Amino acid sequence: MRILMVNHYAITPDQSGGTRHFTLARELVRQGHSVTIVASGAHYQGSGGTVFAAGETMREEVVEGVRFLRLKTGGNQERTGARFLAMLDFARRLSAPLVRARIGTVDIVYGSSPHLFAALAAYRLSRRNGTPFVLEVRDLWPESIVALGNVSERHPIVLIMGAIARYLYRRSDRIVTLLPGSEAHILRMGGRRAGATTIPNFVDIDLHEGTAPPAARETFTITYAGTHGLANALDTLIDAAALARADEGLSHVRFRLVGAGREKERLRERARAAGLDNVSFDDPVPKQEIGRVLAEADAFYLQLKPIALYRHGTSLNKLFDYMAAARPVLFAADMPTNPIAACEAGITIPPEDPQALVQAIRRLVALPATERQAMGARARAHVIAHHGPRAMADRLIGVLRDAMAGAAAR
């Protein structure tokens, strides 16, 4: 099968961020399929973007058998207006005759929705080529922008996003969602009666091979590794660090934040102004190095803002990396599916509650090391059993074949 994947933000393991599509594509290539991923040459979560020669608008590379086409697009993500223009630019370039010619002949198009303009452009490309189209729902639009961006439901962008979402839900040959529990919502929004197939995020366990319990040391490090954005609500972690610094029993606890994002400099300045020498900020690392960084932690922290959006489900890439690293997780969330609670792999607390976080830290550091190691072992066993890339690739192939069979029958 010749498969085209479209994701504006797709990256390779030598860059920082989520590598879902590369890992899926690599598994499909290993099964004998041909996969091309079209993405932007700009890297939005760190350094390492494609350097284009003068006059060059597209660059091709093959990574572990996966063919990438990188398009030269706008790369400034610091301002909302520039980010929006970059989305439109990517969608426009995807439709260019030169890009279509370089893509070549494919059997099916798989369009992902980090934003809907890319997914819409992928759908139009599929129809122009007469091939089936599968929509991947990574975030619920326009609900995500309303909930996380504090944007009015009547804002023109929200109305446009809602119209595109309903259009794609109705016309896609099949739908894949990352979000367990979102299927009914997608159906209500116009999704086909065949419904949506859940293929959640997963972990490349090879990145965490040889993970061992942390060595005994004087400090206890709690690590957050991921995007520093509004949705991540990292002020709670800074507040907890201030409380821990004033607590003699937690003087050995250190808080490490690894990654990039629009909130990082503000958070760094806030910690500096408060004199929080128990907090450190590190640059993002390539995905292929994440196992080494996570192995330096004693525990991990992750919070979800308490918003109604998450009642439809969520699939957190960083959470599965944490669990694969075999460390307990301090999970500040209220959601219908909670893998940390399900496999007793850490402590779940209410979100945006620094006092509750500090109490959970006290409980965790007071546990015998063997009990923390058992939490980590259960976490790793859970993701190996339920969130491996091979099983997810097999599920995806089933969806793609169903889409092709359904299209052929029409």
Is the distance from CB of 241 to CB of 235 less than 8 angstroms?
A: no
User: With bands split at pLDDT 50, 70 and 90, how would you rate the model's confidence at 116?
Assistant: very high
Partner residues linked to 302 by β-bridges: 331
Give the global pTM: 0.85
Residues 46, 15: contact at Cβ < 8 Å? yes
d(C-alpha 261, C-alpha 227), whole Å: 5
Could you tell me if 156 and 68 lie in one domain? yes
Same-domain pairing of 378 and 392: no
The CATH number for 107's domain is 3.40.50.2000
**Does residue 109 sit in the same domain as residue 22?**
yes
pLDDT over threshold 60, residue 312: no
| Together in a domain, 250 and 164 | no
Asked if residue 229 has pLDDT above 80, the reply is yes
Q: What is the pLDDT of residue 315?
A: 65
Residues 362 and 397 in one domain: no
Residues 331 and 399 both lie in one domain? no
Q: Are both 335 and 364 inside the same structural domain?
A: yes
| Same structural domain, 210 and 307 | yes
pLDDT over 70, % of the chain: 91
Residue 199 and residue 37: Cα distance in Å, rounded? 18
Tally of CA atoms within 13 A in the half-sphere of 384 that contains its CB: 14
Does 231 share its domain with 365?
yes
Q: Is the dihedral of CA 143, 149, 153, 155 positive or negative?
A: negative
Minimum mean pLDDT among 48-62, 80-94, 236-250, 306-320: which range?
306-320
How large is the average pLDDT for residues 12-23?
Answer: 89
Same domain, 231 and 362: yes
The count of domains in the chain is 2
Using one digit for the tens of pLDDT, what is the confidence trace for 42-52? 876 655 578 78
Residue 21: which domain range? 2-202+388-409
Same domain assignment for residues 211 and 299 = yes
> Residue 274 — φ and ψ, nearest 5°?
-85, 0
Instruction: Give the model confidence (pLDDT) of 121-180 as tens digits.
Output: 999 999 999 999 999 998 877 777 766 666 777 888 888 888 999 999 999 999 999 988
Does residue 140 sit in the same domain as residue 165? yes
What would the 3-class secondary structure string for the chain be? CEEEEECCCCCCCCCCCCCHHHHHHHHHHHCCCEEEEEEECCCCCCCCCCCCCCCCCEEEEEECCEEEEEECCCCCCCCHHHHHHHHHHHHHHHCCHHHHHHHCCCCEEEEECCCHHHHHHHHHHHHHHCCCEEEEECCCCCHHHHHHHCCCCCCHHHHHHHHHHHHHHHHCCEEEECCCCCHHHHHHCCCCCCCEEECCCCCCHHHHCCCCCCCCCCCEEEEEECCCCHHHCCHHHHHHHHHHHCCHHHCCEEEEEECCCCCHHHHHHHHHHCCCCCEEEECCCCHHHHHHHHCCCCEEEEECCCCHHHHHCCCCHHHHHHHHCCCCEEEECCCCCCHHHHCCCEEEECCCCHHHHHHHHHHHHHCCHHHHHHHHHHHHHHHHHHCCHHHHHHHHHHHHHHHHHHHHHC
